[in-house]
């Protein structure tokens, strides 16, 4: 399912960017990001952090659920995942400081998980 999410995200990202009349270079400029880095995100060659996705959504003036085309991506998920999706949709109702706090927390948890996995892999060598 991850491949499906990534494919839809990059397609939606490109479609929204083009609909807003922006080139990759222009959007990268709005994000204060080098154009090659943005290109890798849009082409699915790198996974952006939640903070970067949030910044992209803001720059494009769309909600996160619109950017991820959530209804299409998550049409085949279970009830637990649907609850999570509903919570993600509610993020749009938070103020900017609250959103930043949530994204920082999520990024921290993901980083912690990656570090834990890397340490476990090293211990298994």
What is the total residue count of the chain? 125
Q: How many Å apart are CA 124 and CA 110, to the nearest integer?
A: 21
Q: What is the reported pLDDT for 41?
A: 92
- Rounded mean pLDDT, 1-8: 58
What does the pLDDT look like over 79-102, one tens digit per residue? 556 677 677 778 878 898 998 898
DSSP string, the chain: -HHHHHHHHHHHHHHHHHHTT--HHHHHHHTT--HHHHHHHHTTSSPPPHHHHHHHHHHHT--HHHHTTHHHHTTT--HHHHHHHHHHHHGGGS-HHHHHHHHHHHHHHHHHHHHHHHHHHHHT-
Say which range, 2-6, 19-23, 25-29, 105-109, has the weakest mean pLDDT.
Answer: 2-6
What does the pLDDT look like over 32-71, one tens digit per residue? 999 999 999 999 898 888 889 889 999 998 888 777 765 5
Return the ∠ at Cα 57 (arms to 52 and 62), rounded to 5°. 170
Cβ-count burial of 89 within 10 angstroms (0-12 exposed, 13-18 middle, 19+ buried)?
A: middle
Q: pTM above 0.75?
A: no
Instruction: Give, in order, the Cα–Cα distances in Å from 72 to each of 1, 13, 31, 65.
Output: 12, 14, 26, 10
Topology (CATH) of 2-93: 434 Repressor (Amino-terminal Domain) (1.10.260)
């Amino acid at each position: 399912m991850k491949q499906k999410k990534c494919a839809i995200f990059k397609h939606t990202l490109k479609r929204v960017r083009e609909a807003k009349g922006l080139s990759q270079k222009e959007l990268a400029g709005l994000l204060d990001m080098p154009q090659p880095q943005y290109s890798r995100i849009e082409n699915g060659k790198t996974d952006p952090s939640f903070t970067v996705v949030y910044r992209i959504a803001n720059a494009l003036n769309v909600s996160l659920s619109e950017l991820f085309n959530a209804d299409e991506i998550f049409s085949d998920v279970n009830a637990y995942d649907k609850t999570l999706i509903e919570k993600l949709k509610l993020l749009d109702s938070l103020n900017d400081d609250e959103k930043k706090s949530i994204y920082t927390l999520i990024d921290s948890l993901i980083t912690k998980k990656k570090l834990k996995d890397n340490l476990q892999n090293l211990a298994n060598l």
